[in-house]
Each structure stands twice: as C-alpha cells, then as structure tokens.
Structure 1
Amino acid sequence: MRVAEVSIEAIHHNVRRISEVTSGGQIIVVVKACGYGHGAVIAAEAAMSGGATMIATADLEEALQLRDAGVTAPLLCWLHGPRVDFAPAISASIEVGVSRLSHLEALAAAAKELGTTATLQFKVDTGLSRNGAAKEEWETLFARGAELEREGLVRVRGIFSHLANAGEEADHAQGEVFDEAVRMLREAGSEPEMIHLAASAATFSRPKLHYNTVRVGLAAYGLSPFVEKTSAQLGLVPAMTLRSEIVALRGVPAGTGVSYGFNHVCEVATTLALVPIGYADGMPRALNGNGAWVTIAGEPRPIVGRIGMDQFIVDVGPLAGRVELGEPVVLFGDPERGYPAIEVWSRLMRTINYEILVGIGPRVIRQAAE
C-alpha cells in the first residue's frame, strides 16, 4: 500500500549528468540517512553501476550496514563519537574521515592492533563551523598523519571540507581556505588522491571549486538544491516516485465533514477516496488545507481533511465512476511525467526537499525499478 519506487535509470542518468558537469571528475555519492530516503543499498548500488567513484555515509554504523548488506563499493564515513572503535571500519575496508588528532591516533592504534594499514581522508573546517579540523590544528594533524603514513599504519587518501552555501563570495572565500589546507597537507608529506569541497549546490554553480572530486547527495537523486531552479533545468531526473492506492471510496452529499475536526466540509456532493499513507509515513500533517494534491488516473486531485497517522483523503470529484479500489495514487514524483513535484510539499511546509525525503517512514517499501 505504500511504495517509494526508486528509478535505477534516473540515478544512472544523474550520475552521468554530474560527470558531464564536472568534466569527468571523481564522484562520491552520499547515501546517508537511508540513501536520502531512497534506501541506502538501492542508492549505493545504482550510483556505483552508474559511474560513481565512491559511496559515503555520515557515520560508521551506516557504512557497516552497507557492508553487511553486501555492498562492496569504496566507502567513506566522517562523523564519529569520542569513543568510536575504528577496528570494524578497518576490517571492512571503510575509509575514515578524520577531523581531530584523537581520532587519528585511535585509527592508527586500531590499525596497529590489526596488523594492517587504515585509509583515511582528512576533513577540515573552512568556515561552516561544524565538523572538521580547525585551522590551528592542521599543522599538527597533517604532520602526524604523514608520520603515521611513513610507519605504514595509515594511508592519507584525501582531504575534504564542506561549504556553507552562504553565497558566491563566501563559497570562494572557503575555497581559498581549503586551498591552504591542501597546500599544508602536501607540505607535510602527504599527496591526496581525492580533493573535494563541492556538494550538490556547488557542483552546479561553482566550477572553480570542483577540484578533482565532488561529493553529491541530493543531485544524485535527481532533485535541485536551489529554490529558483528545477531538476529539469539542471538536467536531472527525480529518482523517487512515492505511490499508494485507493483502499476505499465513499460517495457523500454536500455538507459532509471530512476527517478529524471537520476542517474541510464538502461544498457539493462528491466522492472521497481513502489512501493509506499518513504522518507516520512521512506525510506532513500540516499539508492539510494548504493546496497539496496527488495524481490519480493522470489527473491532479486535492487532499482534503486532516491527514491521519496512517491515511489521508482525496476528493476525486469528476473521477467518480472512472476509478476503483486499487487505483494507483502518486503523491510525488517527476513533474515531467505529470506528477506532483516533491517541492510542492517542501514549499507548503516552508522547508527544503531534503527534509521531506529523509522523513519518509520505514513502513514505506523502497522498491528498485528500471
């Protein structure tokens, strides 16, 4: 009754488009937060078969889950707690993003205990003021990394940072800081194979910040990181179609109240369709009464009445008699195919498309489709 259909071909197309934009540079596709709601395994396998260089997650637990599911792609993760055990990462050939000296030492100690070499990428803060080594820590951190490299305990494969997306001037200022970090890393004696600063937004707007690698999330799933530009304008194809079906139909007279609180009353006699997705599945309750709609039988129809935990109601109006139980309902998908764009929801909720995607609940089945 609840399916997030994920187009493998769309992800392939999007990775190819990113490669085109970056002139064939290396592409890291981020599949954190359940692959931005698409299913991490589906997303990872589709991205790699589409031409990605590497897969990334936020934390080690997500990366290990991919390994447990049989994903063999190169993996990177970078958000760690103070007591993290890096041994499982090393054993599973997962690259570790290192942003402080204590984590570097812990990684090297785990590698020594296992009798092997750990692979890492340094993460530096260039102005986002979030995760990443502060500028005053770089010299010590990079020098120690080079020393551990000479000892054979670690391999420094890359360096990266994250933009604040605070405007062109701010982005390029961060780029200058990042350039300094790359220079200092090289002077310390390490030569990074992967240098990445641009995420989805900068991939499509800041070509000078592409370096030799970009690290994308949203764009790989075919959605635009910009309010003022659509997916189609960027040459991307939304990969997810959120579907359900009609499980009940009810003809009602004018004056009928709909769902909790009767905040919608039918002005004329009509037919109401019950659809089994609700706020437990990531459908924001506040969409009610805001003009949100779905597609049924190829036509847009309004959501009416308060959205419940498990279900919502659509006024099918003139479609009465043409639809029956089991009729497909599309909540959002590719607008080029006539479906509601996910941005309909995000605009109504005054949020971003990212939040809608990752809020899709576990009852919704993620299903790969060509």
Structure 2
Amino acid sequence: MSTPVLEISRGAFRANLAAVRARLGESQLMLVMKDDAYGHGIDWAVSEAEAAGVSWFGGYDIPTALRIRALTSQRVYAWATSSASEVEAAIRAGIELGIGSTAYLAAVIARAELLGIRTALHLKIDTGLHRNGFRPEDWAAAVGIARAAEERGSVRIAGVWSHLAEASDEEDDAAQAVFLEAVRHLEAVGGTPEALHLTASAAAWWRPELRGTLSRIGAFCYGIRSADGPVLDGLSLISRLVATVDAVEGDTVRVGLGAFHGLPSVLQGAEVATPGGLRRIVRIDGDATTVAAWPGARIGDRVIVFGPGDDGESDATALAERMDTVGEEILTRLTPAVSRLLGP
C-alpha cells in the first residue's frame, strides 16, 4: 500500500511571511507555531522563519516553546498555564511567559525568585472573550503584585496581551478600549511594557487600527484562511496532501489514505483533484479512500486531497467548512503515518 504525503513548500512559506510582515506594517510579527507548526513541522519552519527576519516565536505551551528555543536565540513566548517543572524549564531557557491568573502569577514569580533568574512576563487582561486573563476589576491588584516583583528584580513586565472574540467590529472596538485602559494603568504605576499584543490572525489582517506593537499570527502564515473567510491576498496554502491510487475497481479507485492517517470520514462527498479532473469521495475507510474513477485511471495515479488550488483542489479550510470546523484542524489531524516532504 502506498504512503500518503504532505508536500510542503518552503518558498510558499517564505512568501507568506513576507506578505504578512508587509501587511502588519509597524506591528511586529509573532509567528505562532502551536501543534507542531500547524502540522507542518517546527524544526525546518523555525530556521526558515528566522532567515526571513522573524524575531518573535509563539509556542502556545511550554514544551513547544522549548523546542523552538533549541532552534533559535530569538524571542520565544508561551502563554498556556503550565506546571511548576515546565515553568522552571521555561525560565532557565529564557522563555517569555503569558500570565492570566493570580495563582499562575504567584507561581511564576516564586519560581523566578527561587532560581534567581529575571523572567519576562506578559500580563493578560480579559477583554471579553473570557479565555483566561485578569478581569478588569482584578487588574490593579495583579499589576501591583507584578510591579512589586519587578521592583525586587525577579521579573520584568515585558508586555500586555489579550484575545479578541472577533464576534463583531463593535465588540472588538470595546475590547480594545478595555485593553488600552489596562495599559494606561500599568504605565501610570511605573510599568514600561514594550510588547502590546491584542490581535491574532484575522483581526491583525483586517483591522489595522486594533494592532499593537506585536501581532500574533499563526494560521495565515501557513496559508490557512479563516473558516467562512475570504481568500487571503498574497497568501497561499504552503502544503498539499497527496495520495496515490492503489487499486482500480470498475467505476471507483482506492487511494492509499484513510481515517487512520487522519482524514475525517465525514468528508465523504468532497471532491479531490485527479488526472481526470475533480472527482467525488465515495467512502473513507480506515486505511483507504474510495473515489469516483476517471477515464484511464491506473494504479500509481496522483490524487490531491487539498492544496493551494493549482490543480483545482480545495484548500484545507474548504474541507473543514464541510464539517463545521477550522482549516487548521484538517492539517493538525494528520498522523505520523502521513509523510512530510519538504520542497523548495
């Protein structure tokens, strides 16, 4: 049985990074690399991004951030609440930490003081999404704790950050007002945050007035557009999922890619690109997918499940929309049984 392949274009990745950085203007890019760089692999992506001028990397969790740190001396950020052992490893490695609760703030300060290593913190204000973060009424107390630790020399308040709900422009405008008020309070009590990051991919792309000094961008750098969102000007999906025909069975063919490889079985009915044009998926089994045949179909023919669209295939987000999820899930579901092939 053949092995499916995720073909990855380093050139497309570099082009996307250049387009995103141009779009952001004066706001710096933080390249988010969660879920192993959205299923593409961190090891090659860090070096490519650093060569392209990226100086901030976001790992989400500390284990990912440590993987990034092993590959670069640039600034690395992790914002998921973590265990004491992970926090200690992050502090020793110079990982900057996002803090959104009093308990985590106290734990990080205590660990930094125990180790005697000044640690960079980014305090999160909850601007309405309620995904962690200090509530506005608790902000002054949190800032007081962090500033006292900063005065003792154990931490540095390097940034203020938040998440946007992106439910409507009005809600995002209100969130920005909460965010800016939090920054003003911190500065009024002597804080000097250099990194202000409210926006992630979508808001940073389409709402330039919401950007701070730093913008966290993940999916867009890999060419993954938002669910129900438009095609992104200047960006393209950096990978294509390819499988080959293993058997021709009358009016169908069997392709060596299935649910065991991470292809959701609910994608039955979607179209894939074949040498005979677009053809419908008839069934997805554990180790294979049955596809409507085309004239002259033969074993070894190449079938593209998703990609940048050069052969008419859907992008990852179009497939995700069929199952009411986001494009990155289609990529991050792919198991190690799918080979990753780096190209120019």
State the TM-score, normalized to the length of structure 1: 0.86
Correspondence for 1:54: 56
Letter in 2 for 1:237: S
d(CA) in 1 for partners of 2:332 and 2:253? Answer: 27
Q: Name the SS of the counterpart of 1:156 in structure 2.
A: strand
d(CA) in 2 for partners of 1:111 and 1:83? Answer: 11
Correspondence for 2:45: 43
Correspondence for 2:286: 309
d(CA) in 2 for partners of 1:227 and 1:360? Answer: 22
d(CA) in 2 for partners of 1:90 and 1:210? Answer: 28
Letter in 1 for 2:290: I
Letter in 2 for 1:316: A
Q: Are 1:293 and 2:271 counterparts?
A: yes
Correspondence for 1:255: none
Correspondence for 1:198: 199
Shift of 1:18: 1.5
Shift of 1:21: 1.5
Correspondence for 1:280: 260
1:121-171 Cα deviation digits (max 9, x unpaired)? 112211001121111221121122222122211111111100001111111
Q: What's the % identity of the aligned pairs? A: 33
1:32-181 alignment, distance < 5 Å = 32-67=34-69, 70-81=71-82, 85-181=86-182
Q: Name the SS of the counterpart of 1:171 in structure 2.
A: helix
Letter in 2 for 1:6: I
Q: Name the SS of the counterpart of 1:61 in structure 2.
A: helix
Q: Are 1:249 and 2:252 counterparts?
A: no
Shift of 1:184: 1.2
Correspondence for 2:190: 189
Shift of 1:228: 4.1
1:231-269 Cα deviation digits (max 9, x unpaired)? 3xx22111121112222233x2xxxxxxxxxxxxxxxxx
Letter in 2 for 1:110: R
Q: Name the SS of the counterpart of 2:241 in structure 1.
A: strand
Letter in 1 for 2:279: R
1:187-212 Cα deviation digits (max 9, x unpaired)? 22121111111111111221111121
Change beyond 3 A, Cα 1:228–1:215: closer
Report the number of matched residues.
342
Q: Name the SS of the counterpart of 2:196 in structure 1.
A: strand
Q: Name the SS of the counterpart of 1:335 in structure 2.
A: coil
Give the unaligned 5+ runs of structure 2: none
Q: Name the SS of the counterpart of 1:142 in structure 2.
A: helix
Change beyond 3 A, Cα 1:238–1:325: same
d(CA) in 2 for partners of 1:142 and 1:280? Answer: 48
Correspondence for 2:330: 356
What do you get for the CA RMSD once the two structures are aligned? 2.0
d(CA) in 1 for partners of 2:305 and 2:340? Answer: 15
State the TM-score, normalized to the length of structure 2: 0.92
- Contact 2:307–2:313 at 8 Å: present in 1 too? yes
Change beyond 3 A, Cα 1:56–1:298: farther
d(CA) in 2 for partners of 1:188 and 1:226? Answer: 41
Decide which moves more: 95-104 or 339-348. 339-348
Larger Rg: 1
d(CA) in 1 for partners of 2:243 and 2:36? Answer: 20
Shift of 1:94: 1.0
d(CA) in 2 for partners of 1:185 and 1:369? Answer: 47
Letter in 2 for 1:45: S
Identify the match of residue 331 of structure 1 among 300, 305, 310: 305
d(CA) in 2 for partners of 1:228 and 1:58? Answer: 24
d(CA) in 2 for partners of 1:149 and 1:46? Answer: 35
Shift of 1:275: 1.4
- Contact 1:195–1:211 at 8 Å: present in 2 too? yes
Identify the match of residue 28 of structure 1 among 27, 30, 40: 30
Change beyond 3 A, Cα 1:218–1:176: same
Shift of 1:336: 4.3
Change beyond 3 A, Cα 1:122–1:337: farther
Q: Name the SS of the counterpart of 1:317 in structure 2.
A: coil
d(CA) in 2 for partners of 1:117 and 1:228? Answer: 42
Correspondence for 1:15: 17
Q: Name the SS of the counterpart of 1:249 in structure 2.
A: strand
- Contact 2:271–2:313 at 8 Å: present in 1 too? no
Correspondence for 1:6: 8
d(CA) in 2 for partners of 1:123 and 1:298? Answer: 52
